[in-house]
A = this chain, B = another copy of it.
Amino acid sequence: MDHLKETERSSKQIYAGKIIDLYVQEVELPNGKTSMREVIKHPGAVAVIALTKDGKLLLVEQFRKALERTLAEIPAGKLEPGEEPETTAVRELEEETGYTAKSISHLVSFYTSPGFADELVHLYITEELEPLKTEAHLDEDEFVELMEVTLEEAEGMLANGQIYDAKTAYAVQYLQLRRALQNT
């Protein structure tokens, strides 16, 4: 849709960080006027719907400084430079849960905040979990607590705000859809 395109006139890097970079850009709008865009660059991330043999969903509880609270989320993590998303997905699953996946499938990818950030989340699913023989290690500054919950428990956590993020809400709805289709 070329008639909607914004053409970059200038771009200034405000911040180069550990996880994100910030740019302020001047753009020419479709009507010829100019405006300003704030853009966060992010390496992208993966998340995994990981189901145990008895159908429980793995969640990791983690403190989120941006929100000043803990959230229960599906296992997730940032892409490392050059790493394939599927490799990241298995690595983060191992580090955060102590399980590995014998097989894993890509489900969907989505941008989380297209209005200001380029973060793309790749969502995977596995039902082929195996306990790791040797412990995997979290990042030095990462502290998480593993939970294994039924779909009904996850629905309750969504209702009471323990689950409160887009990828995990999507994951719970995905499992609701799968249950509904199995009952059709």
Contact = CB atoms under 8 A, between A and B. Distances in A.
A22 B8 CA distance: 22
Given A40-B40, A61-B1, A66 B19 contact: no
Given A66-B117, A115-B19, A177-B173, A166 B164 contact: no
Contacts of A40: 20, 40, 66, 116-117
A5 B31 CA distance: 49
Interface residues of A, number: 73
Contacts of A45: 115
Given A35-B141, A184-B184, A112 B62 contact: no
Contacts of A20: 38, 40, 116
A18 to B, nearest CB: 6
A4 B38 contact: no
Interface string A65-80: 1110011010010100
| 4 interchain residue pairs of minimum CB distance | A35-B141, A180-B180, A37-B65, A166-B166
